[in-house]
């Protein structure tokens, strides 16, 4: 038997692999540097348009706050009063109780006696043309008396009584969509640290893209927009068959380069309690991320490049250094990316009030890769017909 092919092809295979690794790393590193130096850099040095010094001049417009709840009795009792007691002159709170089987209905009934601004919509168990939470949210929007809609979830808590005031202050004739931030509360565990970073990293992406006039998503636990936008696109009709996406797919549809404002005032933050075990976190994230395949093509390409470049950046440099290929350029690009990543992340984390994460960033950056590998198949093949 002739084994000459082993002698000829093996070196060529090594050469081909080293070339692929080299160019993949260089391209990936450049994408990462451009993102953290220029795109994320704009967020790092972003100045708040509304601060304490000028907040006294805010005109209060009527607002409809909408909360969708399904078996959230404990959270409604704990967090809903924080919304009902907002220091605001003209607002209503609509809670859509979606077929809850716990004590939600009784709790809401008792709260209605104390707060006349609370409107409760109890949904029956019936056949629906719209999947998941979108059906409940559509009923809340239909019932809203006011043009400005402020959305959050039953398990979320505003940080203070200025939430409505400062969120609606960013809405005007031109800026009809406001993207708020919803961080996770702190807990003494690595899962909590990673959950916080995943939340921050997602926010970095949708805030920076919005700043560069390419808005593609928001989060439903802290989102504000005008009701007319909902009417203009016939609600959730184009993605009514998907349970999730009431926030990101809807924003992907209605947002443009001119009508979006990011909202980063710490007094507007809405806090949520994170999942305490990996299984619950995994289920939650696959449900949320399963809608990404329905984004606009340009958004999918940009987000895909960002993820793929992160893989190339971490996967190849030590292999290339070990093979002695382009060592000086590899080290230069590697350290440059880390420099911009650490520097601009510091300022962003400071803005988002989670500076404690900065010390964990070298580890979190790598763990995030493992997370992407682990969660990707579930995102692709997940059934998106249910929201809880």
All structural domains of the chain, each given as residue ranges with its CATH number in brackets, are 55-283 (3.90.550.10)
pLDDT for res 242: 79
Average pLDDT score, the chain: 89
Length of the chain: 388
Helix axis angle, 327-351 relative to 361-381, nearest 10°?
90
Q: Is 82 exposed, middle or buried (0-12, 13-18, 19+ CB in 10 A)?
A: middle
Strand partners, 184: 272
pLDDT for res 140: 96
pLDDT for res 273: 87
Q: CA of 132: how far to CAs of 7, 96, 167, 184, in Å?
A: 60, 13, 26, 24
Dist. CA 97–CA 27, nearest whole Å: 50
pLDDT for res 281: 77
Q: Which runs of consecutive H residues, i.e. helices, occur in 54-154?
A: 73-84, 104-114, 133-143
Residue 215's Cβ-side half-sphere holds a number of Cα atoms within 13 Å equal to: 27
Beta pairing class for 63-69 and 91-98: parallel
Q: CA of 352: how far to CAs of 125, 224, 293, 356, in Å?
A: 40, 19, 28, 11
Q: Are 337 and 331 in contact (CB under 8 A)?
A: no
Query: Which residue has tokens 């949210």?
Result: 137
pLDDT for res 5: 36
pLDDT for res 55: 62
272 SS3 class: strand
pTM: 0.89
pLDDT for res 388: 58
Strand partners, 252: none
pLDDT for res 108: 97
Strand partners, 260: 177
pLDDT for res 10: 42
Positions of the chain with pLDDT lower than 50, given as ranges = 1-10, 12, 383-385
Q: Which runs of consecutive H residues, i.e. helices, occur in 270-326?
A: 278-289, 297-315, 317-323
pLDDT tens, position by position, 59-73: 899 999 999 999 999
The separation between CA 255 and the C-alpha centre of its own chain, rounded to angstroms, equals: 15
Dist. CA 259–CA 240, nearest whole Å: 24
């Amino acid at each position: 038997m002739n084994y000459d092919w082993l002698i000829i092809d093996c070196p060529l295979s090594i050469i081909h692999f080293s070339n692929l690794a080299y160019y993949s790393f260089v391209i990936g590193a450049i994408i990462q540097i451009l993102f953290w130096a220029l795109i994320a850099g704009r967020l790092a040095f972003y100045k708040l348009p509304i601060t304490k010094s000028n907040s006294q001049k805010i005109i209060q417009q009527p607002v409809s706050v909408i909360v969708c709840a399904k078996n959230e009795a404990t959270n409604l009792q704990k967090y809903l009063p924080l919304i009902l007691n907002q220091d605001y002159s003209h607002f209503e709170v609509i809670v859509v109780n979606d077929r809850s089987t716990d004590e939600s209905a009784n709790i809401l009934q008792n709260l209605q006696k104390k707060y006349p601004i609370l409107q409760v919509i109890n949904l029956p168990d019936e056949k629906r043309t719209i999947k998941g939470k979108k059906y409940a949210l559509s009923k809340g929007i239909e019932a809203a008396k006011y043009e400005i809609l402020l959305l959050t979830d039953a398990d979320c808590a505003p940080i203070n009584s200025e939430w409505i005031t400062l969120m609606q202050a960013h809405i005007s004739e031109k800026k009809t969509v406001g993207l708020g931030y919803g961080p996770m509360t702190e807990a003494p565990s690595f899962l909590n640290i990673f959950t916080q970073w995943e939340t921050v990293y997602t926010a970095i992406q949708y805030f920076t893209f919005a700043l560069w006039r390419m808005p593609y998503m928001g989060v439903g636990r802290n989102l504000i927009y005008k009701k007319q936008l909902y009417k203009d696109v016939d609600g959730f009709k184009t993605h009514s068959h998907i349970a999730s996406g009431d926030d990101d797919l809807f924003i992907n549809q209605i947002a443009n380069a001119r009508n979006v404002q990011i909202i980063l005032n710490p007094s507007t933050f809405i806090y949520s309690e994170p999942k305490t075990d990996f299984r619950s976190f995994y289920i939650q994230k696959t449900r949320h991320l399963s809608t990404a395949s329905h984004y606009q093509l340009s958004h999918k390409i940009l987000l895909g490049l960002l993820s793929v470049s992160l893989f190339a950046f971490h996967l190849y440099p030590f292999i290339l250094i070990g093979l002695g290929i382009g060592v000086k350029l590899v080290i230069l690009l590697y350290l440059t990316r880390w420099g911009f990543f650490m520097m601009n992340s510091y300022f962003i984390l400071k803005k988002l009030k989670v500076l404690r994460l900065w010390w964990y960033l070298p580890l979190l950056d790598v763990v995030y890769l493992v997370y992407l590998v682990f969660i990707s198949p579930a995102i692709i093949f997940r059934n998106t017909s249910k929201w809880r």
